[in-house]
Amino acid sequence: MANWHCVGRVDAFEVDFSEEVTLDGQVIAVHPTEEGFFATSGICTHEDERIFEGLLDRCQIECPKHMARFDVRTGAALSPPAITPLLTYQVELRDDYVWVNVPVGDRDDTGQSPTWNS
């Protein structure tokens, strides 16, 4: 079941600077990119490092601890030492605000792919 949260005004984000939010107890990284907004789980799948503090460039974020890279559009782990993808969350822009869907129950109900509505 969809469970949308407003995480802030679009203009409060800066392209290629990820932010961290906690929604329903889940740490989530919001990634503003040239391709739009994306959201992933906020903790690196290799070890417990906060991913939003990493370098974000061309829709890839580099974990600040051991430099694994992830595609923020799909969550895919692109380079070791991480091999497990990040979870992704749907994102929508509604008027001037960014909304993130933190599904309740089965994630398949809402899809895994972020979306960007302009």
- The residues binding ligand FES (CB under 6 A) are 44, 46-47, 49, 63, 65-66, 68, 81-82
- Which one, 19 or 49, has the nearer CB to ligand FES? 49
Provide the minimum distance between the beta carbon of 22 and ligand FES in the complex, in angstroms, as a whole number: 19
State the nearest-atom distance from the C-beta of 101 to ligand FES, in Å.
Answer: 25
Residue 71: CB atoms within 10 Å: 18
| Residues 6 or more apart whose Cβ sits within 8 Å of residue 17 | 32, 56
Cβ proximity to ligand FES, 7 vs 61, nearer residue:
61
Nearer to ligand FES, 44 or 91 (CB): 44
